[in-house]
Amino acid sequence: MATSTVSRVRRQLPTSPWLFAVPGLVVTGVFILYPFVSTVVNAFTDRRTLIPGEFVGLANFRELLHDDMFWIGLRNSALYVLGVVPALVLLPLLLALLVQKNIPGIAFFRSAFYTPVVASIVVVGLIWVWLLDERGLVNSLLETIGVGRVGFLSDQWLLLLSAMAVTVWKGLGYYMIIYLAALAHVPRELHEAAAVDGAGAVRRFLTVTVPALRSTMVLVAALSSVAAFKVFSEVYLIAGPTGGPAGEDTTLVMLVQRTGTGLTGRVGYASAISLVVFVVTVALMLLVLRADRREES
């Protein structure tokens, strides 16, 4: 590629780059970043929904350290990352391998596997609460095969697990697509060479597919861990607004919502929690990107 031409292509018309970028930058700046800056400011005040706050320094953060609910939230959000991310890195990859071959009807299956992604999370929540109910479909099937009914919606850990299952269920199709795209770029020669060497399907998967897809797996890990740490809807819908028995299933973002909303919301304190969520998210992202860079070099 002729570098000189490339840079000339890029350099032409000095004003237009901004013209191109301005609509996006304005919208993002006015409606996302500016409100977020306000949140950051609020984190250092005792502002409430209807009562303007005063600057309180680090008081909100000091309170966090002694707030049991905050630690429960942190624990659950972290558990969510640990539980969901491995499943979302691995299962969609296997699914992508399953739908990769162009056998008759595969287009239908690919689309069908994507439907949970398309459906709104509220609908998904309603459907799963109805399925996992003490008398719902899953339990009556379990009873039919002799396992007996399971209290998916009453036990603290089963609730969290059920929410994770819903997250994985809804995410399968999305990450499957990402893998599918990456698989198309794995040179077939590698597979053929391995096959000639007599490697079986499992070994080819481990020695050819996985290494070739490493950067994609890192990406999936990054995307899914950020989403998992910020989880709200699934747990809110499955475990209920108060976060399961004794609030033991509360996640950090649920805590933000509970503390900060309504007419009596403690906006300042909730902002402080938001800030923690933001910082951890950025850290997760950087961590994954660093792992990626190390791998590249």
Partner 1 sequence: MSVVEKAPPAPAPAVVHRGPVTDEHGRRIRVWELVLRYVLLLFVLALTVGPFLWQLSTSLKGPTEDIFSSPPSFLPAHPTLHNYARVSDTIPVWDYALNSLKVATANVVTNCVGSALAGYALARLRYRGRRVATLVFILAMLVPAESIIIAQFTTMRELGLNNSLVGVVLPGSVGAMNVLLMRNAFLNLPFEIEEAAFVDGANVWQRFARIALPSVKGTLAVVAIFAFMFSWDDFLWPLIVLSDPSKFTLTIGLNYLHGTFANDERLVAAGTVIAVAPLMVLFACLQRYFFRGVGEGAVKG
Partner 2 sequence: MPTPSRRTFAVAALAALVLPLSACGSSDDGSGSTDASGKVEGDITFQTWNLRANFKPYFDGLIADFEKKYPGTHVKWIDQPAEGYADKLSADAAGGTLPDVVNVSPDLLAPLVKAGLALDLDKAAAKYRPEYLDGAWTGQQIPGVGGTYAFPWYLNTGPMFYNKGLFKKAGLDPDSPPKTYDELFTDALQMAQKSNGKVATLANVPTVEDFGRYGVELMNKQGTGFAFNDAKGVELLTKYKELYDAKALDPQALTATPESSGKMFLTEAVAMNPGSALDLENFKKQAPNLYKNIGITDQITSTGHVNMYVMGVMVNSRTKHTPAAVAFAHYVTDAQNQMSFAKQVAIFPSTAGSLDDPYFTKEDGTDETRVRIAAAKSLKNAVNYTPVLFSDQMKTALRNEVAKALQGKESPKAALDNAVKACDQLLQQQG
The interface region with partner 1, picked from 56-64, 71-79, 239-247, 288-296 by CB under 8 A, is 288-296
3-state SS, residue 2: coil
The residues in 106-165 that bind partner 1, with binding defined as CB under 8 A, are: 106-107, 109-116, 118-123, 126-128, 130-131, 135, 137, 140-141, 143-144
Q: Write 18-22 long-range contacts (CB < 8 A, 24+).
A: none
Work out what residue 286 binds among partner 2, partner 1, none; the CB cut-off runs from 5 to 8 Å by kind. Answer: none
Cβ of 106: how many Cβ atoms within 10 Å? 13
R_g of the chain computed on alpha carbons:
24
Amino acid occupying residue 88? L
Closest contact distance (angstroms) between CB of 123 and partner 1 is 5
287 is a contact residue toward partner 1 (CB under 8 A): no
Closest contact distance (angstroms) between CB of 101 and partner 2 is 34
End-to-end alpha-carbon separation of the chain, Å?
23
> Interface with partner 2 by CB under 8 A: which residues?
35, 38-39, 41-43, 45-53, 120-122, 125-126, 129, 133-135, 151, 153-154, 159, 232-233, 236-237, 239-242, 244-247, 256-267, 270-271, 273-274
Contact 99, 180 (CB under 8 A): yes
Contact 45, 56 (CB under 8 A): yes
Closest contact distance (angstroms) between CB of 141 and partner 2 is 17
**Nearest-angstrom CA–CA distance, 240 and 248:** 11
Closest contact distance (angstroms) between CB of 204 and partner 2 is 39
